[in-house]
Amino acid sequence: MRPLLCALVILLLLCACSSNESGVKQVEYGGKTFVVDTEAGTITFDDQVYRYEGSGKSAEFTYPDGSTFWWRQQGNMGHGGWSADYDPGAHGYISGDTLLEVLRELEPSTVKNGEQFLAGVVLVLVGAVNAIAPAMVWAMSYGWRFKNAEPSDAALVIYRFGGIVACVIGAFLVLFSF
């Protein structure tokens, strides 16, 4: 009992030890080095401090002169804007687009959807079988229920057309999963 208790105490002590990783990170973008403090919500470049709220998908940046730039993104679409006094070139500031890309560099890279690729491959295979051998597919679907049954020409055309459509959709899924 005593060794088990000692092992549990040691395990609890080891689990309590965690590294407190600093929120300050250096990001290289466009040949320039930016210092991003994720805890304070700041990006520093050439002694200029830009405040931000949000992440690489939806963020608002406040420049040292008080002007703002913002960006919102949902899925593949996004929109953005800026305050009336926003003119980064006039003060030698970094553009809002660049600051947004610096924030995006901190985010983990998005892995393409493997499920979409798998679904595309399955659709191409099933569609190819339907397009190449519609009579066999009809026999597996309905023909086994009836003795000496033959599919109609319309059924064969529908199976073949459905197979071609499935192949096309599957090919798009495979191509756009990369």
Instruction: Show me where the domains of the chain are located.
Output: 22-106, 114-175
Task: Per-residue pLDDT tens, the chain, 178 aa: give them.
Answer: 566 555 555 655 555 555 545 678 888 888 888 888 888 888 888 888 889 888 777 889 898 888 889 888 887 788 888 888 888 888 788 888 888 888 888 776 555 566 788 889 999 999 999 999 999 988 888 888 888 888 899 999 999 999 999 999 999 988 887 7
Residue with tokens 């060794």: 3
Which of 157, 175, 118, 144 is closest to 126 using CA atoms?
A: 118
Distance between the two ends of the chain, CA-based, in angstroms? 56
> Closest by alpha carbon to 61, among 104, 125, 7, 32?
104
Burial of residue 177 (number of CB atoms within 10 Å: 0-12, 13-18, 19+): middle
Q: What is the b/e burial string over 67-91, where b = at least 16 CB atoms within 10 angstroms of the residue's CB? A: bbbbbebeeeeeeeebeeebebeee
